[in-house]
Amino acid sequence: PGFTAEVVTDTMGNIVVYRVESLLAMANAARLYLVLRVFKERVLAGLPIRFTIAKFSSVDFGWTFACKHLLVGWGAVANLSLLWFSFICVSGYGLRVFEFSACQLPTTEAPSCSLQNASRWSLPGTDEFDAHDPDMLRINAVLWCFFITSTSVGYGDFYAKTHGGRTVTVVVTFVGIAFTALLTAALTNALVWSSAESKALLIAERERAKLR
């Protein structure tokens, strides 16, 4: 609070001005990885005396085991959906920071904002176009963009125009494909008969065969 500064960058021939406090806030959001420890403990909380079991069975109840345990039952679908949505929200915040130029703020004092390529952006091989409309960078629009991107649909109604935004989009694409595959695996695993259900079904089939 009370500190602000502007960083002028030239990205693909376009002038983009970043506010330092926005960049620092985005970097601070990366600390959410600390929540993953709590998430791991929550996943493994239902396993009694797991530390004793790990000592005698030589099984590491770490991230790998937690991820495998995460993909069991219908709870896996809810957990993966929550992780996916959380990742999209954090990434969407990063995209907004990179794609929004401070030149669109009335309080910006950077002299570079008076240049034409600060308001009229262009990409190699394309015509000039206006910088992102602030309405296009609303959180609902960004979440829509990343959901469509992470499922590899990609309508093209919104796309990144800066190096930072494109980097975030590439990461979201690969992670989103992984989440899609894991969610599909979780649904498949939840729909497979358990051993108890298979035995019960076999007994029912035998009893029905006796009645014929």
pLDDT of residue 201: 81
Q: How far apart are CA 205 and CA 35, in angstroms?
A: 48
pLDDT in tens, the chain (212 residues): 456 788 888 877 888 888 888 888 877 877 777 777 777 777 777 777 777 787 778 777 777 777 777 777 777 888 888 888 888 888 888 888 888 888 878 878 888 888 888 877 776 655 555 666 666 677 788 888 888 888 888 777 777 878 888 888 899 889 888 888 888 888 887 777 777 878 888 888 888 887 77
Q: What is the pTM of this model?
A: 0.71
Q: Which of 63, 11, 15 is nearest to 36 (CA)?
A: 63
pLDDT of residue 125: 54
Which CATH number does 6-210 carry?
1.10.287.70
Task: List, in sequence order, every beta strand (DSSP E) within 5-140.
Answer: 6-11, 14-19, 120-121, 129-130
pLDDT of residue 187: 82
The structural domains of the chain, with segments of one domain joined by +, span: 6-210
